[in-house]
Structure 1
Amino acid sequence: MNSLLSMNDLSKDDIMRLIRRALEMKAGNYRPLPERKYVANLFFEPSTRTKASFEMAEKHLGITSLPFDVDHSSVTKGESLYDTCRTMEAIGCDALVIRHGVTAYYDEMEGLGIPIINGGDGSGSHPTQSLLDLMTIYDRFGRFEGLKVVIAGDISHSRVARSNQQALAKLGAEVRFSAPEAWQDESIEVPYVDLDDVVGDADVIMLLRVQHERHGDEKDFTKTAYHNGYGMTLKRYQRMKDTAIIMHPAPVNRDVEIDGRLIEAPRSVIFEQMNNGVFMRMSVLQEILGSEQ
């Protein structure tokens, strides 16, 4: 694997190899890469979990991370993304982790000679988030085939929804969406359902953050109405199967996508996802930069 740009880059076998390696790493079975490597984490959008977990993954593997601050870089002088990336290549970086607001920004990187790991592109893809989600599901259920997964919320703006739907369908899970009509994406061929109709039968309920920054005018949006229609309320939680889990890529808008009292409830694996993110990103970095351990 040279780069990781979207879940379409990965076969079923690729996904399972990354998951199994990440689980081994979580169990403590890893060591630093045998050769020194340098990675620049280029985050052009705000991030807590993705950026910090990549940095932690890099430290575990003995990779040197180059600091990058958009506000104190030549981007403020008009430097293009491509020129920033070529600069990082020229000074000796072995790979780049990039988050950018432009969907499919990587299409403009044809002249780049080092791998890219996509940390999120606009409303396009977020492959490492999808992989850590898949790791969390597999660690809990030991399978994907036949699992009933509901992804609820801001579908049209969600790179997480798109990436997870691609991967879960490939792995044999049954995926359904639940979203307000204005936030549905008909380009993705997935049935839309009423959350109340499926909450008692689902194995996984994946809630999405309402992405206010991508909406513009939201005169019709109210937190209470959204929570009652598409969020994880206490009543819905009580109807879930005992074995079912709640997921969320975070950051969480408390009492909007999920009742704040449920974020650390027994069926919630939100913080487990965050923990798994370190090991999955270690697995991806090992795949791209290292030899098989």
Structure 2
Amino acid sequence: MAIKEWSKNSLLGIEDLSSDEILFLLDEAQSIKAQKTIDGSITESLRGKRIINLFMEPSTRTRVAFEIAAKSLGADVISIAGEASSLTKGETLKDTAMNVQALGADAIVLRHSSPGSPLFLSKIVNVPIINAGDGAHEHPSQALLDIYTMREKLGNLNGKKITILGDILFSRVARSNLWGLLKLGAEVTLAGPSTLVPKEFEKLGARVTHDPNEALQGADAVMLLRIQHERQQASHFPSLSEYANVFGLGRSTFNQMKNNAIILHPGPLNRGVEIESELADSNRAVILEQVSNGIAVRMAILQLCINCGEIRR
């Protein structure tokens, strides 16, 4: 039976969400997007709330989308970058968060290079913590907007074939999408160089292949991932040009997919590496729609977590 209300005041990851919770949140995002489309109005359900974006890693899409989402709900939002915080003076993340809470924060959106940092903070402060990416662990809001976009384009994801191609080993986006897609019944294939897509991922329920043609054959959607150079201590393939020649999405490999298949990318996009420009700009790519949908999804996340238990169906 589908859940009738949201009961979590933090969003730490996709792994600990049930399929019903994922669908509840996505339906909330759909309602928000539909209302804005119909009459341009958005409920100011968070008027008077203060939301702090605490971003210890660089970000454009995620940070700006959370800012727009918060302001669209009537909240006040303050964004703090790592280099502009007292962390550069030796203050701990714990003390930074406790001070932010003391200053009247009603929620903290955290991006941090250390896996588990949002969970750590959730046990220390008494305000909702929203994980905006923690190391190579999870990126739940990105996965939710990706899945939202896939549902919007493909319908029910049960039985749909979704391929995630690229740097899986160091990607928090891949992990969160894998958890979410599997819980909604999709068949997930992970593909890329053997050094970046270990067979161990099969233990999580995915199919693993190092043959891009095999990975794309019959796929309903392909999500391309950039190489996470900032998290790698050594090169995991000979060169970018060789990676692009073998694993980049070009016209020949794209033709392995279904006629109505869609292309996704969480950004930032490296044209000519993960994908040819012609395909990135084609009508089969929903990359900019992902960005737009990210606002509605993040509005739903903030609204549900901060008003935990108040929104029912």
In the other structure, the counterpart of 1:192 is 208
Report % sequence identity: 41
Deviation at 1:186, TM superposition (A): 4.1
Q: Structure 1 residues 78 and 185 mapped into 2: Cα distance closer, same or farther (>3 Å)?
A: farther
Give, as a single letter, the amino acid of the residue that structure 1 aligns with 2:297. M
Aligned residues: 293
Report matched runs for 1:1-293 at 5 Å: 1-29=8-36, 30-33=42-45, 35-109=47-121, 110-188=123-201, 189=203, 190-193=206-209, 194-218=211-235, 220-290=237-307, 291-292=310-311
CA–CA distance in 1 between the matches of 2:146 and 2:189? 16
Deviation at 1:83, TM superposition (A): 0.9
CA–CA distance in 1 between the matches of 2:219 and 2:14? 23
Q: Pairwise CA RMSD of aligned residues? A: 1.5
Give, as a single letter, the amino acid of the residue that structure 1 aligns with 2:90. G
CA–CA distance in 2 between the matches of 1:243 and 1:180? 26
Contact 1:210 1:253 in 2 (8 A): no
4+ long deviations beyond 3 Å: none
Scaled by the length of structure 2, what TM-score is found? 0.90
CA–CA distance in 1 between the matches of 2:51 and 2:176? 24
What is the CA deviation profile of residues 48-107 of structure 1, one whole-angstrom value per residue up to 9, with x for unaligned ones?
100010001011101100231322221111011111111111111010000000011134
Deviation at 1:9, TM superposition (A): 2.6
What is the CA deviation profile of residues 119-166 of structure 1, one whole-angstrom value per residue up to 9, with x for unaligned ones?
000000000001001100111112010000111110100001111111
CA–CA distance in 2 between the matches of 1:78 and 1:186? 40
Structure 1: unaligned runs, 5 residues or longer: none
Contact 2:46 2:75 in 1 (8 A): no
Give, as a single letter, the amino acid of the residue that structure 2 aligns with 1:234. R
More off after superposition, 167-176 vs 225-234: 225-234
Q: Structure 1 residues 34 and 233 mapped into 2: Cα distance closer, same or farther (>3 Å)?
A: closer
CA–CA distance in 2 between the matches of 1:219 and 1:149? 24
CA–CA distance in 1 between the matches of 2:136 and 2:165? 16
Scaled by the length of structure 1, what TM-score is found? 0.95
In the other structure, the counterpart of 2:39 is none
CA–CA distance in 2 between the matches of 1:257 and 1:269? 15
Give, as a single letter, the amino acid of the residue that structure 1 aligns with 2:208. Y
